[in-house]
Structure 1
Amino acid sequence: MYHPDNYLFTLKKLFPLIHHNLLLILALFFVMALLYMLSQRLKISYPIFLVIGGLAISFIPGLPHLNVDPDLVFLIFLPPLLFEAAWYSSWNQLWKWRRSVLSLGFGLVLVTSLAIAYFSLHIIPDFTLALGFMLGGIISPPDAVAATSVLKGMEVPKRGTTILEGESLVNDAASLTVLRFAIATVLTGQFVFQKAAVDFAVLAVMGVFVGLLIAHILYYVLRYWVGSSSITTPITLIAPYLMYIVAEQFHWSGVLAVVSGGLFLSFRSSDFLNYHTRLQTKEVWETVGFLLNGFVFILIGLELPVIIKGLEGYELSEAIYYALVISAMVIVIRIVLVYLSTFIPRWLSKDLREKEKSPGLKLPFIIGWAGMRGVVSLASALAIPLTLSDGTTGFPHRNLILFITFVVILVTLVFQGLTLPLFIRWLKVEEVDDYIPEEEQIEAIRLELAKQSIQYLDANYAVEMSQYETVGRIKEQLQRSVNATESTMNEEDKKKALSSVRGLYRKIMLELVSLRRDGLKKMTQQNQYDDQVLRVMESSLDLEEARLNKV
Structure 2
Amino acid sequence: MESVANLHAMERMVLLLLVMVAAFAVMAHRLKVPYPIVLVLAGLVLSFVPHMPKIPLDPNLVFVIFLPPLLYSAAWSVSWRDFRRNLLIISLLAVGLVGFTVWGVAEFSDRFITALDWKAGFLLGAVLATTDAIAATSVAKSLGLPRRIVDILEGESLLNDATGLLALEFGLRLLERGDLPTVGAGLARLAYLIVGGLGIGLLMGVLVGWFERFVDNGPVELVLSLIVPYAAYLAAEEAKASGVLAVVACGLYLSRESARFFSPGVRIQIWSAWEAMTFVLNGIVFLLIGLQMPNVLAGIHGDYHITTLLEYGAIFSVTLIALRMIWVAPAVRLTNFARRLKGDHERISKRETFVIGWTGMRGVIALAAAVSVPEMINGVEFGARNLIIFLTFCVILVTLVLQGLTLPTVIRALGLAGSNQGMEPEEREARRLALREALTYLEEERREKGETYAHAYDDLIDRYEHRLAEITEDGSEQGASKAQVYQELLRAGRGALEAERRTIIRLRDEGAISDDVLRRMERVLDLEETKHLVH
Which TM-score applies when normalising by structure 2?
0.90
What is the distance in 2 between the residues matched to 1:495 and 1:357? 33
Identity %: 34
Aligned residue number for residue 282 of structure 2: 293
Aligned to 2:438: 453
- How many Å separate the matches in 1 of 2:528 and 2:332? 43
1:63 is matched with which residue? 52
The equivalent of 1:228 in structure 2 is 217
AA aligned opposite 2:75: A
Deviation at 1:67, TM superposition (A): 2.9
Whether 1:49 aligns to 2:38 is yes
Checking the alignment, whether the CA contact within 8 Å between 1:113 and 1:133 is kept in structure 2 is: yes
Shift of 1:19: 5.6
Mapping for residues 315-326 of structure 1, pairs under 5 Å:
315-326=305-316
2:158 maps to 169
Give 5+ residue unaligned stretches, structure 2: none
1:18 Cα deviation (Å)? 6.2
The one of 158, 177, 191 equivalent to 2:147 is 158
Pairwise CA distance, 1:25? 1.9
**Relative to 1, partners in 2 of residues 1:178 and 1:231: Cα closer, same or farther, differing over 3 Å?**
same
Once the two structures are overlaid, the 10-residue window that deviates more, 301-310 or 195-204, is 195-204
Question: What are the superposed Cα offsets for residues 296-334 of structure 1, whole Å, 9 maximum, x if unpaired?
Answer: 101111001220121052223222211211101111221
* TM-fit CA distance, 1:361: 1.9
* Conserved 8 A contact 2:466-2:485: no
Name which of structure 1's ranges 46-55 and 527-536 shifts more when overlaid on structure 2: 527-536
Aligned to 1:217: 207
Bigger mean CA deviation after superposition, 67-76 or 284-293: 67-76
Distance 1:281 1:126, change over 3 A: same
Q: Which amino acid aligns with 1:438?
A: M
CA contact (8 A) 2:490 2:532 kept: yes
Q: Distance in 1 between matches of 2:486 and 2:450?
A: 30
1:525 is aligned, of 499, 509, 517, to 509
Change (3 A) 1:57 1:243: same
Relative distance call for 1:213 and 1:495 in structure 2 (3 A) is farther
Tell me: CA distance 1:460–1:278, structure 2 relative to 1, closer, same or farther (3 Å): same
Aligned AA (1:55): L
Map 1:258-269 onto structure 2 (within 5 A): 258-269=247-258
- Tell me which residue corresponds to 2:394: 407
Q: How many Å apart are 1:37 and its aligned residue? A: 0.8
d(CA) in 2 for partners of 1:16, 1:335: 51
Aligned to 1:425: 412
Summarize the Cα distance change of 1:51–1:310 in structure 2 as closer, same or farther, 3 Å threshold: same
1:139 deviates by 1.7
Residue number in structure 2 paired with 1:485: 470
Question: Cα distance 1:522–1:241, how it changes in 2: closer, same or farther (>3 A)?
Answer: same
State the Cα distance separating 1:411 from its structure 2 match.
0.7
CA distance in 1 between partners of 2:430 and 2:500 (Å) = 28
Contact 1:465 1:471 in 2 (8 A): no
Greater displacement, 189-198 / 78-87:
189-198
Structure 2 match to 1:275: 264
Q: Counterpart in 2 of 1:328? A: 318
Kindly provide the amino acid, as one letter, of the partner of residue 264 in structure 1.
Y
> 2 CA distance for matches of 1:342 and 1:497?
47
| CA displacement at 1:15 relative to structure 2 | 11
Aligned twin of 1:6: none
Figure out how many residues of one structure are paired with residues of the other and give that number: 529
Tell me the amino acid that sits aligned with residue 95 of structure 1.
R
Could you report, residue by residue, the CA deviation over 1:433-480 in whole angstroms, capped at 9, with x for unpaired residues? Answer: xxx973544444343333323332343454546214773355344444
How far, CA to CA, are the matches of 2:204 and 2:414 in structure 1? 45
- Alignment partners' CA distance in 1, 2:444 and 2:479: 34
CA shift, 1:238, in A, is 0.9
Secondary structure, counterpart of 1:527 in structure 2: coil
Q: Is 2:469–2:482's contact at 8 Å kept on the other side of the alignment?
A: no
Distance of 2:229 and 2:481 partners within structure 1: 45
Partners of 2:217 and 2:266 within 8 A in 1 = no
RMSD (Å), alpha carbons: 3.1
Opposite residue 65 of structure 2, the aligned amino acid is I
Paired residue for 1:356, among 345, 364, 378? 345
Q: Secondary structure at the match of 2:300?
A: coil
Shift of 1:295: 0.8
Contact 2:374–2:382 (8 Å) recurs in 1: yes
For 2:446 and 2:482, locate their aligned partners in 1 and report how far apart those are by CA, in whole Å. Answer: 32
Q: Which residue of 1 aligns with 2:357?
A: 368
User: Matches of 1:145 and 1:499 in 2, distance apart?
Assistant: 38
| SS of corresponding position for 2:142 | coil
1:398 aligns with 2:388: no
State the AA in 2 paired with 1:366.
V
Distance apart, 1:510 and its partner CA: 4.7
The amino acid that maps onto 1:408 is: V
User: What does residue 525 of structure 2 align with?
Assistant: 541
Q: Could you tell me which amino acid in structure 1 is paired with residue 131 of structure 2? A: P
C-alpha contact (below 8 Å) 2:24/2:35 kept by paired residues: yes
Contact 1:335 1:365 in 2 (8 A): yes
Distance 1:501 1:380 in 2: 58
Please, which moves more after superposition, 185-194 or 42-51?
185-194
Structure 2 counterpart of 1:448, one-letter code: L
- The 3-state SS of whatever aligns with 2:329 is helix
What secondary structure, in the 3-state scheme, does the structure 1 residue paired with 2:163 have?
helix
Q: Contact 1:74–1:380 (CA<8 Å) still a contact in 2? A: no
Check whether the contact 2:466–2:482 (CA below 8 A) recurs between aligned residues. Answer: no
CA distance in 2, matches of 1:466, 1:86: 50
The 8 Å contact of residues 78 and 154 in structure 2, kept in 1 or not, is answered as yes
Distance 2:91 2:279 in 1: 27
Q: Give the 3-state SS of the residue equivalent to 2:49 in structure 1.
A: coil
